[in-house]
Amino acid sequence: MSRAARLLDLMQVLRRYRRPVTAAVLAEKLGVSQRTLYRDIATLMEEGAAIEGEAGTGYVLKEGHFLPPLSFSDDEIDALVLGLRWVTRNTDLALAQGAFEALAKIAAVLPPDMRTALESDRVFAATDRVVPQAVIDAEILRDAIRRSRKLRLTYQDGGETVSERVVWPLALAFFNDVCLVIAWCELRQDFRHFRADRILAAGLTPERIPKPRRALLQEWQRREGHEPEA
């Protein structure tokens, strides 16, 4: 591996960590000695990379630092194509458009041979199920989650019973045949899952969620037996 490629890999590894990671861990992941790792860190910092930390305490890439994805392996390209194609087939029009635009931005910073590979016909995101269409604009759900705002819902359950709910939306979960809103329900005083296609009306309230959204989501993940994201 060339030194330039190794430096790029080091930046990509640092992007995966939100907290300082030791030189020993970084060196092991990159397959180099700690001495080489220290030298590479120093080189990146001299070139302006927003890396904080020092030997003995660990290193972290400052939040907000952006590194254009200059290179991908064949597997990484297939994963990108498959993921973006799944989004276009299984989500709403706004996210589908976002997938197309993301693909265009990625293509803009890739070499010509890799840009061609993004049009790969090696992988498909096929589905044989009809995805129920949401009555409301799904953008209001995403907006509430991004802004940590409460939502007032008119919801119809599987038995066609209609109820009014105030919920704290935490995340959206997309499956092949349904989109679920993961939320804390004030009526039930517990976590609930609401099918997006059964939400008859939704309105953003001026009230913010009284607890950190990420902490609530991690609590939901523990309840469901999922490991919270690092």
In the chain the first and final C-alpha atoms are separated, in Å, by 29
Q: Which of 12, 17, 15, 59 is nearest to 34 (CA)?
A: 59
Alpha-carbon gap, residue 19 to 35, rounded angstroms = 22
pLDDT(201) > 90: yes
pLDDT over threshold 50, residue 229: no
For 47-68, the pLDDT digits (tens) are 778 888 887 889 998 865 555 5
pTM: 0.58
Which residues have a Cβ under 8 Å from the Cβ of 58 and sit 6 or more positions away?
Answer: 19, 20, 21, 22, 23
Kindly tell me if the per-residue pLDDT of 230 is higher than 50.
no
pLDDT tens string 19-52: 899 999 999 988 899 999 999 999 888 877 888 8
**Looking at the predicted structure, is the pLDDT value of residue 122 above 80?**
no
CA distance 186 to 166: 6
